[in-house]
A and B are shown apart, each in its own frame.
Chain A
Amino acid sequence: MKWIKHIKAIRESVMGMNQRNLELIYPNNARSNYKFADDKYLAKSIMEEKGIACPRTFAVVGKIGEIEAAWQAVKEWNKLVIKPAKGAGGNGIMILKKENDQWMKGGKVIDEFHIFSHIANIIFGIFSFGDSDVTLIEEYVQPHPFFHEMYPEGVPDFRIILLKGIPLMGMLRMPTAKSNGKANLHQGGLGIGVDMETGLLKQAYDGKRHFDFHPDSHSQILNKQIPYWEELMALAIQTSTHFPLDYLGVDLVIDKHKGPMIMEVNVRPGLGIQLANKQGLKGVIENLKLN
């Protein structure tokens, strides 16, 4: 029976939520250390301290009264990213670009009042489940032309999952017309599998189907060589050694000028990466144990 075989194959190679929690997250990550990943401010402090390449932080705003002063310090830059330290899933991230001395958000003019109230909302905890939060104001990463050849919008990033410093699986996340500039799989972004040996892109997955090309731009994806692949892997491994988390997802970007950088780390990397790679995490870990 074909479907019984199929179910068996899924059971043998796919990592499910239960097994991930019990065998990867709980034994490898102490709950008291989650904060080093969940709080982007803390994570960046570690990365900056250890000299790991990451986007520059222009300002950290923890109190409403500090907004005005922080703004004065950063407003000379032409591009800014404002994000909550404890946000999840890309919520609360505001990207600002200056055009003709006016701040633009997503192609529309935005005045300082609305920027300030966004920062205030972050501090009030709107994007962090009601906990009070701090706002990070960061350098805007200019995606490497490699990405814009495939799709010209948004900031694609790599997710590499590591176990005790060993990279298990990787994925390139790329925005689509549906995903509004966001690259998360569950927000309509595209997950593209990565051959960990060679750094060649595999097929893409949009949550429903697999493609060999970008569904919007139709440009080829399969078998494209990722630039800086060796550096990306090295950076991910370096990062994992500096965090007290033995199972983690590292998110990386490639800046046009500065090359690979770490965006953030994640204690509970999603399992959708298996769909992008058409490969089960359970099988990968078992192969590792054998070798």
Chain B
Amino acid sequence: MAAVWDIRDLEYWDARIREKVQEFGLTCYPQEFELCDHTQMLSLMAYSGMPSHYPHWSYGKSFERQKTLYDHGVSGLPYEMVINSDPCLAYLMRQNSLALQILTIAHVYGHNDFFANNFTFSHLHAGLVVETFKNHANRVRGYIADPSIGQEAVELVLDAAHALSLQCRRNPAIRQRSPAEQRRAALEAAGPSPDPFQSIHKRPGYEVPELSRIPLEPEEDLLAFLRDYSPKLADWQRDLLAIVHEQTQYFMPQIETKIMNEGWACYWHRTIMNSLDLPADLQMEFIIRHNQVVRPIPGDINPYHLGLKVWDDIVRRYDDPTPQEIEEFGKPDRSGRDAIFQIRDVDRDVSFLRRFLTQKLMREMDMIEVEPEGDDLVVSRISDENDWQHVKRTLLSFIGMGSTPVIRVIDADHSGNRTLLLRHEYDGRELLLDYAEKTLRFVHQLWGRRIDLQTMLDGREVCLSWDGQDFIQN
């Protein structure tokens, strides 16, 4: 479709959309749009939309992959790309038609509002995001240019850091206790529990807590731990770990709110577009595009589809509850719109789905659980009366950071020879052994001594170890 529009059209429609945005009560950061072509879009995708990003071969790989998929028509390109910053930056593809641009602009305002208001994003300094990434890029380039360091050495550390980047604290809103607080807590926990009859009871024995262990409490932030405690790292290596760590912290909220965020943006672009009184041809194309985006994908989860479904259902339950729902939950105390604004502030994907994905919705969307059976994938459960909660649990276990195993540092001086003891918090899902082995090598590379990882395989507790030469499993 030829792009028969110019920037004035976009400005006109943007002004109209902004009126609606204000009317509906969305509170956004200032917005900036930039038009780009498909090559630029591919580049932006590789670098998560950041105008400036440190170099690493994995981004080249990601670019090549996207380009191959795009060139062979396997996957299209996103209509837009939004980054969470203040002002909010968004890229529009210049090849797209006017209807698509209008839809995209409306969609972007949905994301913008979500970034600005959802609590998951509140600890990020949105105004500094672009600057921070640029700063990181400059630092990494500086290390590469440093003749005493060079590209190979930087790459080695970045490879290892990328492998561990997702092993970090999942919910930054939960404050981490300082070592002093952890110490105090350990001492308190070791003391006798309050006993109203202590005068007549025998004094319980007091077990001295072990306060010299590092870390005092199991630590899931692997990268930060290695950065702070690994004795063999040079300052520039620590800095690289810090950079990767900081960038992961930036992306974490987006990983954790993907479904809500996309659903929210779809909900608002639909609401805004329908209120704009579009000319018939634009309206027609909008409907087609919208339905392409929010269609279900069998065998997978389309966050646009799932998110929009749930938001719609929340609105319906508040505005137009069934008699049965009134009986069960009482009469709604506010309008659907009030409710979703509040939910948009306080939830993340896991809590959002846990609270609002009902059996009725799951049934309607035909949510299933699939298990491998030999070479085939077989439906093991469907969302019927008996199993829907099970299916939902499975769904939630893979949402956001749920698809990354929780691995905690237990002891930095295990068996007295500075072996690093890690524990995989087993929840019924086993680690992929081959990947675990290779990742342990990265941990070893940063720690410099033997690494032990406790996990479960085939219902048996095992310890995977990498001591620099051999991979031991027992």
* A and B pair up: no
